[in-house]
Amino acid sequence: MAVRDGGLRAGYHSPMLKAAMLIAIAAFVCAAMTQGRLASAQTPEQQQLWDAQRAQMIADEKTKNDQLQRERDRRKADPMAWVSTLNPMTAGGWEFRAVADDGSWAAYTTSHQMKRSGKTVTIWLRHEYAEIQSTSDHRYLSVVEKAQYDCAKERERPLLVVYYSGNNMQGSEDTEEADPKTAEWNPIVPGTRDETNFLWACGQDKSSARK
């Protein structure tokens, strides 16, 4: 026999529902009284101190944001001025390749440890950032990447990435490594850093072939 919720079930649970309602009301009243006591216990001096601390936090945050905006404006006006503050690290064969229009990043390449296999070139890349970059796993200002480029099919894939907490490959580091057997290839998108690196790497390969 079918039983509707408004019939036997409602009658069976009614004492329990009444008890639950009474408990909920009591809890609400208790919470309201507690909140009232806390509010009344706060002295005018404590409230004034809290207001002053909050105002100071807002002022500090505004100062920080204003300073950050000024730094961004300076980098955008003269990106190479920021690049000049970075260590070129020529001992590692690093050469400057590009900088963002707004001075947010700079790219370097090196011919050290360059390897060729047919139309595939493996090189080391370096990227520096003006502001801390964040992912779910890393916070970094400098990245070094071992990348592989397919010059015939115009694609690339990262094999090894090292994240540094500071610029110029300084500070703490985290490493991610891919399996060359399963690492996926990515297309080269025109006008990107990947294309700049691709053209350089595959250009180096052609230069070597002519020699």
Domain 83-210 class in CATH: mainly beta
CA dist., res. 143 & res. 145, Å (int): 6
Contacts 24+ apart (CB under 8 A), 183-186: 183/148, 183/157, 183/158, 183/159, 184/157, 185/150, 185/153, 185/155, 185/156, 185/157, 186/155, 186/156, 186/157
Q: Can you tell me the distance from the alpha carbon of 59 to that of 122, in angstroms, rounded to the nearest whole number?
A: 50
For the chain, which residues score pLDDT lower than 50? 1-17, 205, 207-211
The pair of structure tokens assigned to 44 is 């005018």
Q: What does the pLDDT read at residue 2?
A: 31
List Cα–Cα distances, 138 to 108, 131, 134, in angstroms.
21, 14, 6
pTM of structure: 0.70
pLDDT in tens, 170-184: 999 999 999 989 999
CA 88: distance to chain centroid?
24
DSSP string for residues in 53-77: HHHHHHHHHHHHHHHHHHHHHHHHH
Q: Looking at this protein, which amino acid is placed at residue 189?
A: V
